[in-house]
Chains A and B, each alone.
Chain A
């Protein structure tokens, strides 16, 4: 059925290629070839590890993965070992609990940073007050503070509170070793960039709509809830995807704030530890790596359009 419908489209496409070839020399067969070669080069490494994850252990050790094209032999055993057999440095319950940790870190961090970010962006764009500009530039400057600078003080703050000259100013939050101690830093570190990206979008909303609503007697809370929030959904979705990938894939924050305990370690951290402990045991490392890639890849491939739009909102004017 679908082939019948697709047929005319394909003819059109071929025609289009022909008509374009002449007016743009850069889009020549050479360019096509270069792009194809790079796309293949970019995919081979991932593909190699992917294939390896399905090969029997003795094959992984004795031959390269490319030989499977001559002697195809595949097995689920490696995945079974890291997901359902567990034990040793893989962890008594396998890899799945670490994926749960990743979710339990990423979801709150994404929702809270986007939520707080949207409200702050609205305030900076549409509530006139005296230091609005200063705060905006100050936040933008904070983007330039590498998170390396704040890791240790923040860890100390979580453990013992903030002390100045021996006087406790903020008491300890008592969250060391909990999931909150991993997602809270992500929310904090994400604030400047998230506010900036959302501000770009929210500030560009038509002034007339806002003013009309204000004239009708709507207060800031109603304007936010009825106008800004619904109109911002596409922008929020893209920034949420960006944050999701960023936080899911993070290693440094996880190492510092969840380094001590497997209870809250996300997949990336566990994977880094595994590769350290198991070294060249690719029959374990390969399926573990592929497993850790799956969720962000699904999120990315299914929401790619939103994601690209979100990146552009912040980077290209």
Chain B
């Protein structure tokens, strides 16, 4: 039974902790600033670097840099990391039919869903451009961005809900199929199409993001260019193909690559909706299961490294364009 005193005694120490953490953070920094401001001359820059930059670097290195190296080493060791086994984890991963299945699924995810998200986002952004009352439509499509993928997965699990044919349907898709005189299948068990149904959850969650970013890029196209094209007789689809798409090309690539990295690392949707069962498993979920269910750390690490290898080309491409941009 929930009681006020129960809630209060549970919440009070946690709320106090929030307060304490913030007080300590601001306290330490107030002192560091007071100390740093008193140092004069050349060493001032050095002190400033230590206070400003070093904590962030330590956080990034202990959180990402060092653990990444450890995991790469781990991936060459056995299940309980007691012995070096060379490339065995990788070899096994490429032979185990279940893990091969996760490669295929992940690959399908990374190819299909970013393309749909970007295409849909671009179409919506173009259509919404200069449309009156765009704000409401935009908010509604963007809203899933605020909803966790756990929440979103449950929302869609309910849409896909299964009831035996002939009985009253409580899932929306089942009902629509029944209206069309089709016996509804158990949608989440319906391999391989269930992968597509899971992708819909991601597309639903991420299209708003693509739309908003692309919409800003489209609004940034200089008015003169659009007018010149219109004088030349370009309208509708032609305008879209010859002006809009080339002008926002870079933004399209940003959205596409962001979605690709997102789907490569995708975890929440799979974990919540199917737990990787019914042939819907993906790399990130399998990695989690290897580490925390099967307790095979070596193999879990090797799958994490494979995710990393998938991200590297995209990171490399991004760094190259960042350098080009900075030099300009």
Which residues from chain A sit less than 8 Å from chain B, CB to CB? Answer: 13, 16-17, 20, 23-28, 31-32, 34-36, 38-40, 42-46, 48-49, 52, 60-66, 83-87, 92-94, 96-97, 100-101, 103-104, 107-108, 111-112, 115-117, 119-120, 122-124, 127-129, 135, 137, 139-154, 157, 162, 170, 179-180, 185, 187-189, 191-192, 195, 219-222, 224-225, 245, 248-252, 255-256, 259, 268, 271-272, 275-276, 280, 282, 285-286, 289, 292-293, 296-297, 299-301, 304, 308, 311-312, 315-317
Contact = CB atoms under 8 A, between A and B. Distances in A.
B287 A139 contact: no
Given A85-B2, A142-B60, A97 B7 contact: yes
B119 interface: no
B191 interface: no
Nearest to B120: A38
B131 A27 contact: yes
Contacts of B182: none
B137 to A, nearest CB: 4
B148 A45 contact: no
Given A119-B56, A127-B45, A268-B148, A144 B288 contact: no
B65 A142 contact: yes
A286 B307 contact: no
Contact of B64 (A17, A140, A142): A142
Contacts of B72: 149
5 contacts: A25-B236, A26-B240, A43-B143, A104-B18, A144-B318
B170 A63 contact: yes
Nearest to A296: B146
A135 B7 CA distance: 46
A316 B66 contact: no
B258 to A, nearest CB: 8
A162 B64 CA distance: 14
Interface stretch (B84-92, B93-101, B103-111, B149-157): B149-157
Q: Is the interface of B mostly helix, strand, loop or mixed?
A: helix
Contacts of B148: 248-251, 268, 271, 292-293, 296
B181 interface: no
A16 to B, nearest CB: 6
Interface in B184-208: 204, 207-208
Contact of B312 (A144, A148, A280): A144
A85 B1 contact: yes
B279 to A, nearest CB: 19
Interface in B160-192: 161, 168-172, 175
B328 to A, nearest CB: 10
Nearest to B171: A64
Contacts of B146: 245, 293, 296-297, 299-301
B63 A150 contact: yes
A285 to B, nearest CB: 6
Contacts of B27: none
B294 interface: no
Given A24-B130, A221-B36, A249 B149 contact: yes
Given A112-B25, A256-B292, A293 B49 contact: no
Nearest to B220: A316
B76 interface: no
B317 to A, nearest CB: 10
A275 B154 contact: yes
A45 B153 CA distance: 10
A108 B18 contact: yes
Contacts of B67: 149-154, 157
B33 A221 contact: yes
Interface string B206-232: 011100110011001000000000100
